[in-house]
Amino acid sequence: MIAKSTPMQLFVLALLLAATICNGTGRPTGFPPRRFLEKKFADIDGKKMAYVEVGTGDPIVFLHGNPTSSFLWRNVMPHLEGRGRLIAPDLIGMGDSDKLDNSNKYRYTFLEHSNYLYRLFEIIGVKERVTFVIHDWGTALGFHWAYLNRKNPNSVKGIAFFEGFVSTFERYGDFPEEIEPFFRVLRSPAGEQLVLEDNAFVEDLIPSAILRNLTKPEFDEYRRPFLKAGEDRRPMLTWPRQVPIEGEPAEVVAIVKKYSKWLARSELPKLFIDGKPGLISPSMRAVVKKWKNTEMAAVKGIHYLQEDSPTEIGKAIAKWLP
């Protein structure tokens, strides 16, 4: 079952579009036409998954990570309009997708996210000739889908990726030193207070990982899915606990190692968008420079490159698009 945005959701979009268009430095917020914000919905086992869909043709799928949503892609997608069927899902429990029932520390794992996302793909017809544009945990989800479908030469046309998981971290020392202490705490019992109650991922990590200052309407949209303290924020805490560090979690380590080995030798067209200075980008460079058929494009930004360099990202992908 597929539905469109409700009147209330359209009202929220209208408020966003009518809100203050400049931040304190006078830079425009750059909210795109409403079609790049309006959501459709598909039913997955009784849970709604939201997604933006614009255009027709071969699928170009934009996958976000933590703690964002399809909103992150709003100013990148317009640069690819007319080049295919643009699709940007909200992962389960994030954006406008439903929260899971009986949430606890075992929910929202990589495997659970992949199950919901790949079911969504089946329902909306994302099966062949897919181009992925992927970031953060969206990289692992997109790479894994490509790996699972590797025996079908028509499944994936190409993958553009940045600030994500191209390999495992053998030890904490391989992790970006700027956030290593933060992630150690998140993977400890103290993470419950930090994320579920204090909302540190949204309030602290997002602004620290963007060069410019978000406007209030922009920041409010990132806050909106996680306004309620407690288990509604569980996706943001489970994600850092799924990062493959020092062999844990074993199932994620195995998945990342398999797709990384395959991508290194695959002739599949790939575009690495290199963040300058970046957060994970520096550690990614050493890995992807050994990958076959991989082009590179440098843009300004820390982790959420889409907020600092959406035009540069969009143009680089449009030029490279297979």
Asked if 89 and 118 count as a contact pair (C-beta separation under 8 A), the reply is: no
**CA pair distance 243, 240, nearest whole angstrom:** 5
DSSP state string for 254-317 = HHHHHHHHHHHH--S-EEEEEEEE-SSHHHHHHHHTTSTTEEEEEEEESS-HHHH-HHHHHHHH
Which residues are 159's β-sheet partners? 132, 270
Can you read off the two tokens belonging to residue 281?
Answer: 């980008």
Angle between helices 250-265 and 137-148 (to 10 degrees): 70
Please report which residue ranges of 125-224 form alpha helices under DSSP H: 137-148, 180-186, 191, 200, 206-208, 216-223
| Proportion of the chain in helix, strand, coil states, percent, rounded to 5 | 45, 20, 40
| DSSP code for 142 | H
Strands 270-277 and 294-301: parallel
Can you read off the two tokens belonging to residue 139?
Answer: 């990289």
SS3 of 27-84: the string is CECCCCCHHHCCCEEEEECCEEEEEEEECCCCEEEEECCCCCCHHHHCCCHHHHCCCC
Which residues carry out catalysis? 136, 163, 303
The length of the chain, given as a count of residues: 322
